[in-house]
Amino acid sequence: RRPTAARAFTGPGRTADGHPVQLLANVGDPAGAQAAAAAGAEGVGLFRTEFCFLDRAEEPGLEEQVGAYRQVLAAFPGRKVVVRTLDAGADKPLPFVTAAEEANPALGVRGLRTARRAPEVLDHQLRAIAAAAEAERAEVWVMAPMVATVAEAEDFVAACARHGLDTAGVMVEVPSAALLAGPILARAHFASIGTNDLTQYAMAADRLLGSLAELSDSWQPAVLRLVEATCRGGAQQDRPVGVCGEAAADPALAVVLVGLGVSSLSMTPRALGDVAAVLEATDLARCQELARAAVDAESAQDARAVVRAGLPVLA
Map the footprint of Mg ion across residues 169-188, applying CB under 5 A.
Answer: 173
231 annotated active-site: no
Candidates 29, 136, 197, 250: give the one binding Mg ion (CB under 5 A). 197
* Residue stretches of the annotated binding site for Mg(2+): 173, 197
Q: Which is nearer to ligand PEP, 245 or 261 (CB)?
A: 245
Nearer to ligand PEP, 85 or 195 (CB): 195
Under rule CB under 5 A, residue 246 binds Mg ion: no
Task: Based on the shown chain and the rule CB under 6 A, indicate whether residue 237 belongs to the binding site for ligand PEP.
Answer: no
Q: Which are the contacts of 66, defined by CB distance < 8 A and separation ≥ 6?
A: 128, 131, 132, 135
Shortest spacing between CB 176 and Mg ion, in angstroms? 15
**Shortest Å, Cβ 173 to Mg ion:** 5
Q: Report if residue 274 touches ligand PEP, rule: CB under 6 A.
A: no
CA angle 9, 71, 170 (to 5 degrees): 75
Burial class (CB in 10 A: 0-12, 13-18, 19+), 55: exposed
87 part of the interface to ligand PEP, by CB under 6 A: yes
Q: How far is CA 140 from CA 2, 19, 74, 312, in A?
A: 38, 24, 11, 38
| Residue among 245 and 273 whose Cβ is closer to Mg ion | 245
Which residues are known binding-site members?
48, 84, 173, 196-197, 207
User: Contact with Mg ion (CB under 5 A): which of 194, 233, 234, 251?
Assistant: 194
Among the options 52, 160, 244, 287, which is catalytic? 244
- Site for Mg ion, rule CB under 5 A: 173, 194, 197
Q: Catalog residues that contact ligand PEP under the rule CB under 6 A.
A: 46, 48, 87, 173, 194-197, 244-245
Residues marked active site are found at: 244
